[in-house]
Structure 1
Amino acid sequence: MPALLAVDLGLRTGLALYGSDGRLRRYGSHNFGSAARLRRGVSAVLAEPGDLEWVYIEGGGPLADIWMREAERRGIIARLVSAETWRRAILYEREQRNGDQAKRVADTLARRVIVWSGAPRPTALCHDTAEAILIGLWGVLEVGWLDRLPDDLRRW
């Protein structure tokens, strides 16, 4: 099954892998510790899900360049996305007034995505992982694997 990987960029990187059914397959974070270790590790991360077609990356700069180059080398379509872009599509305006508030809401919504997807529930969910889950949710909507936000994830 084709897959999409969402990345909340940093030396401590949040990761979320989605299947073409739009559901979260797995998620987690990885602390690379340095740009050199990230450079070596990105190849393994992109190689693991053998059916990876898309990578959505929140962030920019030299660390993003590492992910973009490796994705291109592997023939994986990579997209850079800003936090403002995916938050506008998934969160209410009132939930985006400041970064701390947006991170709290992201945690709650990410937990709902985990339950909806039938993925194992976390004992703890780092904010970088929660944001990767929502970047990926936005990505599967963007590539058309989901037509709209599922009813179980909609908030009235």
Structure 2
Amino acid sequence: MASPAHLLAVDLGLHTGLALFSAEPQLLWYRSHHLPNPQKLKKMIASLLRQSPQPAYIYIEGGGQLADLWSKEAARLAIPIKQIQAEQWRRQLFFDRQHANGPLAKREADGLARQVIDRLGIKQPTGLRHDTAEAILIGLYGLLELNWLAAWPPQPGRPSDQHDS
């Protein structure tokens, strides 16, 4: 029997937010790393992508040199990567008024990320950095796009709201 697929969501930067989801869907973990330079990020990426469970998909918000580090390592391991911008997931997950400016968007992201943790997560947050909250929402966007989750919020007890294993 094949192991279940996993989605790694990344809010790109030297302050990197990460969230790992299973296809069930379940939020397995979420965290933030502060890295001093791109070389340390490159080492973290190589290590992270070789850990079990290895992601079947990577969704990443951001671009430039740091995104290239993720793309190159993912290509070495034949892991598909989808690069998105914040506007894409915000348009799908929020009303326009909820992300009219940066501080408001970050506050709304924190609230929705806590809802995702509550419904799909395995532990409650004590503190939640904005990069980690955004990684969780990038993952939610990916779950919906991959059809691992039919709608948000999910309806308990309705099998059509979860993908077929």
Q: TM-score interval w.r.t. the shorter chain?
A: over 0.9
- 1:95 equivalenced with 2:121 (yes/no): no
Given that 2:59 and 2:138 are in contact with CA atoms closer than 8 Å, whether structure 1 keeps it comes out as yes
Structure 1 residue matching 2:20: 3-state secondary structure? strand
Given that 1:22 and 1:137 are in contact with CA atoms closer than 8 Å, whether structure 2 keeps it comes out as no
Quick check: 49-58 or 91-100, which moved more? 49-58
Counterpart of 1:61 in structure 2 is: 64
TM-score normalized with structure 2 length:
0.89
TM-score normalized with structure 1 length:
0.93
- 1:52 equivalenced with 2:35 (yes/no): no
Counterpart of 1:122 in structure 2 is: 125
Query: Greater Rg, structure 1 or structure 2?
Result: 2
Structure 1 residue matching 2:56: 3-state secondary structure? strand
Per the TM alignment, residue 40 of structure 1 is displaced from its structure 2 partner at its CA by 1.4
Work out the CA distance in 2 between the residues paired with 1:17 and 1:82.
Answer: 19
Aligned pairs, number = 152
Work out the CA distance in 1 between the residues paired with 2:67 and 2:151.
Answer: 28
Alignment map for 1:2-151 (pairs within 5 Å)? 2-151=5-154
Query: Partner letter of residue 145 of structure 2?
Result: E
Work out the CA distance in 1 between the residues paired with 2:81 and 2:56.
Answer: 9
Structure 2 residue matching 1:52: 3-state secondary structure? coil
Percent same amino acid at aligned positions? 47
Counterpart of 2:158 in structure 1 is: none
Query: Partner letter of residue 30 of structure 2?
Result: Y
Quick check: 56-65 or 114-123, which moved more? 114-123
Any unmatched runs of 5+ in structure 1? none
Quick check: 42-51 or 63-72, which moved more? 42-51
Quick check: 91-100 or 58-67, which moved more? 91-100
Write the deviation string for residues 83-118 of structure 1: whole angstroms up to 9, x where unpaired: 000000001110010011010000011011101014
Work out the CA distance in 1 between the residues paired with 2:138 and 2:53.
Answer: 21
Write the deviation string for residues 46-97 of structure 1: whole angstroms up to 9, x where unpaired: 1123341000000000000000110111011101000000000001110010
Work out the CA distance in 2 between the residues paired with 1:141 and 1:118.
Answer: 16
Structure 1 residue matching 2:71: 3-state secondary structure? helix
